[in-house]
Structure 1
Amino acid sequence: MKQKVKLIASDLDGTLLQNYMPDCSEEAIELITALTKKGVIFVPASGRQYFNLHNMFKKVDGDVMYLCENGALVFYQDKVLLKREFDRALALELCHMVIDDPKCEVLISGERTCYVVPKTEDYVDYLRNHIKNDVTVIGAPEEITEPIIKVSYFTPKDYRDQVTAYFTKKIAGRCQLMVSGNEWADFAPLGANKGTALEAIGQQMGIAPEEMVAFGDNENDRSMLEFVGQPYLMQKCNPTMEDVKANHCDRVEDVLRQILNGML
Structure 2
Amino acid sequence: MLPDYLQDPRLGDIKLLAVDMDKTLLTDDRGFPEGLFERLDALYEAGVVFCPASGRPAPKLQEMFSGHAHKLAFCSDNGACALWHDEYVFRDLLDHDLYREVLNFAAQRGNCACVLCAFNHVYMLKRDREYAGEVGVYYEDIIFVDSFDEVDADANKISLFFPEWDAEPAYADVYGPTFGDRLYITNAGREWIDFMNLGVDKGSGVAHLCAQLGIDEADAAAVGDTYNDIPMLERVGHSFIVANAEAHMEEHASWRVPSNNDAGVLALIDAILAAKGDRA
TM-score, length of structure 1 as denominator length: 0.92
Aligned partner of 1:260 in structure 2 is 273
Counterpart contact for 1:51–1:134, Cα < 8 Å = no
Cα distance change on mapping 1:120 and 1:148 into 2, 3 Å? closer
Deviations 1:199-244 (A, max 9, x none): 1211121000121111011111111011111110122212232211
Give the ranges of 4+ consecutive aligned residues of structure 1 lying more than 4 Å apart after TM superposition.
none
Deviations 1:135-182 (A, max 9, x none): 222333234343220101000344323322211121141111100112
Aligned partner of 2:20 in structure 1 is 11
Aligned residues: 262
Q: Which structure carries more relative contact order (alpha carbon 8 Å, separation 6+)?
A: 2
The 1-side partners of 2:204 and 2:113 are apart by: 28
2:102 maps to 1:94: yes
Matches within 5 A, 1:103-142: 103-128=111-136, 130-131=137-138, 133-142=140-149
The 2-side partners of 1:235 and 1:112 are apart by: 33
Matches within 5 A, 1:132-171: 133-164=140-171, 165-171=173-179
SS at match of 1:202: helix
Q: Which residue identity is paired with 1:49?
A: P
Aligned partner of 2:241 in structure 1 is 233
Matches within 5 A, 1:35-54: 35-54=43-62
- Match 2:87 to one of 79, 98, 105: 79
SS at match of 2:146: coil
CA RMSD of aligned residues (A): 1.8
Residue 254 (structure 1) shift: 0.7
Matches within 5 A, 1:176-255: 176-250=184-258, 251-255=264-268
- Listed as ranges, the gaps of 5+ residues in structure 1 are none
TM-score, length of structure 2 as denominator length: 0.87
The 2-side partners of 1:172 and 1:200 are apart by: 23
Moved more, 218-227 or 238-247: 238-247
Q: Which residue identity is paired with 1:260?
A: L
Moved more, 151-160 or 68-77: 151-160
- Listed as ranges, the gaps of 5+ residues in structure 2 are 1-8, 259-263
